[in-house]
């Protein structure tokens, strides 16, 4: 429905989740974040991979500044027991949920929009994408997990530069700093993201879960603890599908990897 702030559609084994405030450049407010969390959790139950995209000409221009200004003007007293920031729980439902997500990025992908894209596991952009972290010029700090996720993806020095100067990066620059894994011509990000998601959905659910949930946690551990965590997960009981796939490979029933590349 047009009134939904976030749309949801199942396309075979993949879930398509779209930010739907094109008139506001898909700016994120609390209600949108709440709907996003619910749909990301739904996708984890119904699909094997997800695509996150923005309706209209932009992925997301980030925080709804009008909503923030209204909250600041109200000067409401602090809550006795503050709840977890809705953005954190919503973006974690993507980053550490049950299935992998691919973000299809185009147009403005700035501030909270960049933080949301960082919550996805793979990011595809078309040539119209502009990436930025302008919070410093607006008197605020990142609040959607960017200080954790974006910094780990692109490094402290690059993120510091983006925040202090407010400079914008185009898609090619986004690939150079390794925030983006794929760059395609204008208008092509959504279809490319779907192709990647379909390829991911062919993996076993257990393998996808370990890649998206165990691997990032290993990154936070010491060398020895990381190897121990890897050992624990590689020693887990394998589902029957794993044995079937190994037998298919050994008996040459599976297609060679070069024939399974993602279509450009």
- Host domain of residue 153: 6-201
Helix axis angle, 86-95 to 112-119, nearest 10°:
30
| Lowest mean pLDDT, pick from 56-60, 177-181, 239-243, 259-263 | 259-263
Confidence of residue 234 (pLDDT cuts 50, 70, 90): confident
Q: How far apart are CA 157 and CA 35, in angstroms?
A: 34
Q: How far apart are CA 14 and CA 3, in angstroms?
A: 23
* One domain, residues 182 and 209: no
Residue 1: pLDDT over 50: no
Retrieve residue 64's tokens: 């709804």
pLDDT per position as a tens digit, 14-55: 999 999 999 999 999 999 999 999 999 999 999 999 999 999
The pTM for the full model equals 0.87
Q: Which of 31, 135, 172, 173 is catalytic?
A: 135
* One domain, residues 179 and 210: no
- In whole angstroms, how large is the CA radius of gyration of the chain? 19
Domain at 241, CATH number: 1.10.12
* One domain, residues 197 and 210: no
DSSP letter assigned to residue 258:
G
Q: How far apart are CA 3 and CA 67, in angstroms?
A: 18
Q: Which of 31, 115, 173, 230 is catalytic?
A: 115
pLDDT per position as a tens digit, 50-106: 999 999 999 999 998 777 666 666 666 666 555 558 999 999 999 999 999 999 999
Q: Is residue 171 part of a domain?
A: yes
Q: Is residue 193 part of a domain?
A: yes
pLDDT per position as a tens digit, 100-131: 999 999 999 999 999 999 999 999 999 999 99
Q: Is residue 240 part of a domain?
A: yes
Quote the percentage of the chain above a pLDDT of 90.
76
Q: Are 117 and 109 in contact (CB under 8 A)?
A: yes
Residue 243: pLDDT over 80: no
Q: Is residue 29 part of a domain?
A: yes
Confidence of residue 230 (pLDDT cuts 50, 70, 90): very high
How confident is the prediction for the chain on average, in pLDDT? 90
State the total domains in the chain: 2
Q: Is residue 228 part of a domain?
A: yes
How many Cα atoms are found within 13 Å in the side-chain-facing hemisphere of 188?
12
Q: Determine the average pLDDT of the residues in 134-160.
A: 94
Residue 115 designated active-site: yes
Q: Which residues contact 10 (CB under 8 A, 6 or more apart)?
A: 16, 46, 47
* Domain end point (choices 162, 178, 201): 201
The whole-number pLDDT of residue 43 equals 98
Q: How far apart are CA 16 and CA 246, in angstroms?
A: 31
Q: How far apart are CA 3 and CA 28, in angstroms?
A: 15
Residue 202 designated active-site: no
Residue 197: pLDDT over 70: yes
- Can you list the alpha helix ranges (DSSP code H) found in the chain? 30-46, 65-74, 86-95, 112-119, 146-154, 156-165, 171-176, 189-201, 205-209, 215-219, 223-234, 240-250
* One domain, residues 24 and 70: yes
């Amino acid at each position: 429905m047009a009134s939904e702030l976030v749309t949801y559609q199942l396309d075979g084994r993949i879930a398509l989740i779209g930010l739907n405030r094109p008139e506001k450049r898909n700016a994120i407010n609390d209600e949108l974040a709440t709907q996003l969390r619910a749909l990301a959790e739904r996708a984890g139950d119904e699909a094997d991979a997800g695509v996150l995209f923005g309706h209209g000409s932009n992925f997301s221009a980030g925080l709804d500044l009008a909503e923030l200004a209204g909250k600041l003007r109200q000067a409401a007293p602090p809550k006795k027991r503050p709840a977890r920031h809705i953005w954190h729980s919503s973006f974690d439902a993507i980053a550490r949920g049950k299935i992998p997500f691919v973000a299809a990025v185009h147009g403005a992908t700035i501030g909270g929009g960049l933080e949301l894209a960082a919550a996805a596991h793979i990011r595809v952009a078309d040539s119209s994408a502009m990436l930025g972290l302008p919070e410093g010029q607006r008197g605020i700090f990142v609040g959607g997990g960017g200080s954790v996720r974006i910094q780990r993806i692109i490094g402290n020095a690059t993120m510091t530069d983006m925040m202090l100067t407010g400079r914008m990066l185009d898609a090619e620059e986004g690939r150079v700093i390794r925030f983006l894994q794929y760059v395609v011509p204008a208008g092509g990000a959504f279809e490319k993201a779907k192709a990647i998601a379909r390829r991911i959905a062919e993996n076993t659910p257990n393998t996808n879960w370990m890649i998206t949930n165990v691997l990032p946690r290993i990154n936070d551990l010491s060398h020895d603890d990381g190897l121990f965590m890897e050992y624990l997960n590689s020693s887990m009981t394998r589902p029957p599908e794993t044995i079937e796939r190994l037998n298919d490979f050994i008996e040459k029933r599976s297609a060679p990897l070069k024939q399974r590349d993602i279509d450009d």
